[in-house]
Chains A and B, each alone.
Chain A
Amino acid sequence: MPTAHRVAFVCPRIAEGTTVGGAETLIKALAVQAKSAGRDVVFLTTCARNHVTWANELPPGERLVDGIKVIAFPVNADRDASLFLRLQDRLGRGRRLSQREEDAWLRNNVRSDALSAYLAANSDSLDCVVAGPYLFGVVHQAVDAFPGRATVLPCLHDEPFAHMRVARELFGKARGFIFNSEPERDLAAGLFDMAARPQDVVGIGIDPRPPADPAAFAARRGITTPYVIYSGRREPLKGTPLLLDYFATYRRRTGRELAMVLTGSGAVDIPGSAKGSVHDVGFLGEAEKNEAMAGAVAFCHASVNESLGIVLLEAWINGTPALVHAGGAVLRHQCRASNGGMWFRNYPEFEAMLARLLDDRALRNAMGTAGRNYVLSKYSWSAVRERLLAALDR
């Protein structure tokens, strides 16, 4: 098997400081792993930090981030951001775009001609290019600049963007694919023709650690009742309104004393009857987030749009079972494969499953342990690195 020694990772932003995002975190982490395995890695990104404005805030050029060489290029200044946002909004509402509108969406997407020119000029000195996520212009440009040899790391969800012609064209041009989970790969196989090209499932590694102190968070925050937890962005796409409604209904119908802890960012509309029992603690440091997860009865996630549930893996590493929406293929698959959680389709199932977890401590512990063992075996950095290197060298 040939070794891909010189590898470029392409992502519209790099996870650094307050610039965080699932895909950015994942792609940087994979680049760091490739570097630690002795590969010559360069990370190509834009000068943008804000994922809404895409303003060029960082200086262009080279710098070191977590030991990897990062080269930043300016986002094209001539993009019509308002047209792009209008089209993006229509797509988000499930409307179809005409061929001409799709072209306009891609033309005014986050693109960097300078990054594309760098890749074209250096294509002979690179063995492999890994670019993602799929819905950004720079990723389409990278695949075009490295024709027939680029690997796409799509971070694909079942969303309107995935049904666009330009997405189909991108998948048609890639040399291979790196997916975050088996259900994501199955989704792509249903949408695109990827036959006879490498399709690897790699994922992200979770640092092994002993479960955090389960009593510390509740004691510090003055929470005296059992609690469930959700971590991550709070928005309809992540299922937080549904989760809050279910939680409020559970309390009202059962009369049980139960709290909910929300960590992460985004506005939340807490139902009136649940006010006082929902603890919105915002963005937590890693140590406190681990403690919060370790002390929870269950980690609840009602999103049906995930390509990899990183927060779910973090809950499991802390020995906490999960309660996820059955409509989310990835989270449901992870719970089924690990035996670390249950999946509900509607409120009555949510109520029954949560009651079971609250009442059955042995089941809670067994599921938490099964989840933790699953993460330690499948998502250790050594296992992820092995899968990544195999994908790069294929």
Chain B
Amino acid sequence: MNGADFTLGADGVDAARIVEEIRQAVERKRAQGLYSDPAVVRAERWNMAAMQDDDAFLDAYLESLRESVVVDINDFDIVERRTAMAPLLRRLKRTIWELLKFYTYRLWSQQNTVNGLLLAGIENSERASRRRIAALEARVAALEARNGTTPCQPPTA
């Protein structure tokens, strides 16, 4: 909270520099996997529409897609907190899970295959587009340098 030490006339704060520093720190943490969390992917579901015009949109979108592309169909530790009849309840739950797995395994493994293919397709298409854009930008820059025209600056976020 702002507290009583509110002072008028404070200066020297550079918001753009701080934002840039934080973005770099976030990128370092992202590379270390600190945001590889399904909760982060879920939190971005409303952000996709807002980010569509941003250069970083596709990176963020693909990152979210990578984090959520695989449906987890592995076994997991089945526990029972209630003490009364705990072994029996655990056995019942395991049986239900085995049955569920038996009947849904093909469905989910096919879903994972489709998801993985779609992700690979999008990533390949994106990489190809980047290469083509980089080549076009290099050609434009070379033409501008040859003609002595001012380079066109892309908008910044």
Q: A residues engaging B (CB < 8 A)?
A: 211, 214-215, 218, 226, 236, 239, 241-242, 245-246, 248-249, 252-253, 294-297, 302, 304, 319-320, 325-327, 332, 335-336, 338-343, 345-349, 352-353, 356, 361, 363-370, 372-373
Q: B50 touching A245 by the CB < 8 A rule?
A: no
Q: B1 touching A332 by the CB < 8 A rule?
A: no
Q: B54 touching A326 by the CB < 8 A rule?
A: yes
Residues of B1-43 contacting chain A, CB below 8 A: 1-16, 18-19, 22-23, 25-26, 29-30, 35, 37, 39-40, 42-43
By beta carbon, the residue of chain B nearest A337 is B15
Q: List 29 A-B contacts (CB under 8 A).
A: A211-B2, A214-B6, A245-B43, A249-B39, A249-B42, A249-B43, A319-B2, A320-B2, A326-B157, A327-B54, A327-B157, A335-B15, A336-B16, A339-B13, A342-B15, A342-B18, A345-B157, A346-B47, A346-B60, A347-B35, A348-B35, A352-B26, A353-B22, A356-B18, A368-B6, A369-B9, A372-B8, A373-B8, A373-B9
Q: A245 touching B42 by the CB < 8 A rule?
A: yes
How would residues 42 to 68 of chain B score, 1 for a CB under 8 Å from any chain A CB and 0 otherwise?
111111001101101000100000000
Complex formed: what's the CA distance from A370 to B46 in Å?
A: 31
B4 contacts which chain A residues (CB < 8 A)? Answer: 214
Complex formed: what's the CA distance from A195 to B152 in Å?
A: 21
Q: B1 touching A348 by the CB < 8 A rule?
A: no
Complex formed: what's the CA distance from A367 to B19 in Å?
A: 12
Q: B44 touching A346 by the CB < 8 A rule?
A: yes
B42 contacts which chain A residues (CB < 8 A)? Answer: 245, 249
Q: A342 touching B1 by the CB < 8 A rule?
A: no
A347-B51 contact in complex given A245-B46, A320-B2, A367-B13, C-beta closer than 8 Å: no
A241 contacts which chain B residues (CB < 8 A)? Answer: 46
Q: B12 touching A366 by the CB < 8 A rule?
A: yes
User: Per a CB cutoff under 8 Å, which of B10, B44, B54 touches A366?
Assistant: B10
B2 contacts which chain A residues (CB < 8 A)? Answer: 211, 214, 294-296, 319-320, 364-365, 368
Q: A325 touching B50 by the CB < 8 A rule?
A: yes
B43 contacts which chain A residues (CB < 8 A)? Answer: 245-246, 248-249, 347
By beta carbon, the residue of chain A nearest B56 is A345
Q: B13 touching A346 by the CB < 8 A rule?
A: no
A242-B18 contact in complex given A214-B1, A253-B37, A352-B25, C-beta closer than 8 Å: no
A236-B14 contact in complex given A345-B157, A346-B60, C-beta closer than 8 Å: no
Q: A214 touching B23 by the CB < 8 A rule?
A: no
B44 contacts which chain A residues (CB < 8 A)? Answer: 346-347
Q: A226 touching B1 by the CB < 8 A rule?
A: yes
A369-B7 contact in complex given A327-B54, A345-B54, A345-B157, C-beta closer than 8 Å: yes
Complex formed: what's the CA distance from A30 to B113 in Å?
A: 60
Across the A-B interface, the 10 shortest Cβ-Cβ residue pairs: A242-B46, A249-B43, A369-B10, A366-B13, A339-B15, A327-B50, A347-B43, A366-B10, A214-B2, A348-B26
Complex formed: what's the CA distance from A218 to B1 in Å?
A: 10
Complex formed: what's the CA distance from A345 to B16 in Å?
A: 14
Question: Which of B9, B18, B25 counts the most A-chain CB atoms under 10 A from its CB?
Answer: B18
